[in-house]
A = this chain, B = another copy of it.
Amino acid sequence: MTTEPDLASVKAYLLDLQDRICAGLAAEDGRAAFTTDEWTRHSPTASASPVLGGGGRTRILAEGAVFEKAGVAFSHVTGTALPPSATAHRPELAGRPWVALGVSLVIHPRNPRVPTSHANVRFFSTLPANPGPATAAQPAGIPPSDREARISGGAETPPVWWFGGGFDLTPYYGYEEDCVHWHRTARDALAPHGSALYPQFKQTCDDYFFLKHRGEPRGIGGIFFDDFSAPGFDASFALLRAVGDAFLPAYQPIVARRKNTATNDTERDWQLYRRGRYVEFNLVQDRGTLFGLQSGGRTESILMSLPPLVRWDYARTPAPGSEEHRLHTDFLRPRPWASEI
């Protein structure tokens, strides 16, 4: 059992996961296909950017029969020096070069009866410390693979690495059976890795996806974790795969069950309005979004999470007793979904 991080295996898993998720969603949509946008970057966009380079494979499905917009992005980004803000709890890592690999997705369905979902799985590692001034002048465009090969190749300073990720669900109209299915799938995926994980990851998710300025959760939660490395690389990577592999089984049955539900303009309007909360969360609070934008990441890939169409209304309040009102009272609060019904 190795405890050294195996970057190549993580990358291969993530690319395959992106393939499988896109195939599942395209099959569920039945009409539209994903387009692929491969990109590379070897220089920062902003002068103060800590990003050295990177690339990605962004896949977008737009104007589908079921999905109004679905974005599933693989990215592989490297930086020359971790900004202090990214390492507040580990100040000794500031200034170290780093690599981040991940798959991140947000699905905005057309029918308001189908919930929006978000997932990501990611791996982060520092790279061997910057060489001294004598070699620091090497071209900034150095391919990531050259440096990253040194992670497990007897580097002077051992790398510090961790996994993170999870998935959360944002309904516009609440269905208890969907919430239960979503959370039970998450719980069951985590169970082989320790029974303590699901309650802990659910709590992390509830805490994180909470709009402070609205005093309300973004949705009905799910699971989230970060900084995960304690059981060693192999077991941590296995956990990541369990989470990544659970996304489609958690989401696809809900889509299949709701996508043909009759709907109307009132419900569409409510969906567009509630999507505003998604924008507010992602642009005001989401750490990944803000770090990406501030560190010179690729704006189009980062903001692919934003809904295709959104509305804001002043002081809108659903009528008491309406289904829209019940979303707030019955669904937008932490509930022990996995053990309900």
Contact = CB atoms under 8 A, between A and B. Distances in A.
Interface string A27-49: 00000000001000000011000
9 contacts: A46-B215, A58-B314, A213-B299, A213-B302, A283-B283, A284-B284, A284-B290, A284-B293, A308-B312
Contacts of A37: 314-315
Interface in A271-308: 272, 276, 279-280, 283-284, 290, 293-294, 299-300, 302-304, 306-308
A284 B289 CA distance: 10
A212 interface: yes
A89 interface: no
A36 to B, nearest CB: 12
A142 interface: no
Contacts of A276: 306
A214 interface: yes
- Size category, A interface: 35 or more
Interface in A209-225: 212-215
A37 B314 CA distance: 10
A293 B45 CA distance: 29
A304 B309 contact: no
A113 to B, nearest CB: 21
A310 B309 CA distance: 6
A46 to B, nearest CB: 7
Contact of A314 (B71, B272, B309, B315): B71
Q: Which 3 A-B pairs have the closest CB atoms?
A: A283-B283, A213-B293, A306-B312
A62 interface: yes
Contact of A309 (B213, B283, B290, B309): B309
A92 interface: no
A178 to B, nearest CB: 26
B215 A45 contact: yes
A311 B309 contact: yes
Contacts of A186: none
Contact of A303 (B62, B280, B311): B280
A231 B203 CA distance: 55
A265 interface: no
Interface in A48-64: 58, 60, 62
A309 B272 contact: yes
A146 interface: no
B308 A308 contact: no
A302 B60 CA distance: 33
A299 B214 contact: yes
Contacts of A156: none
Interface in A144-201: none
Contacts of A303: 280, 312
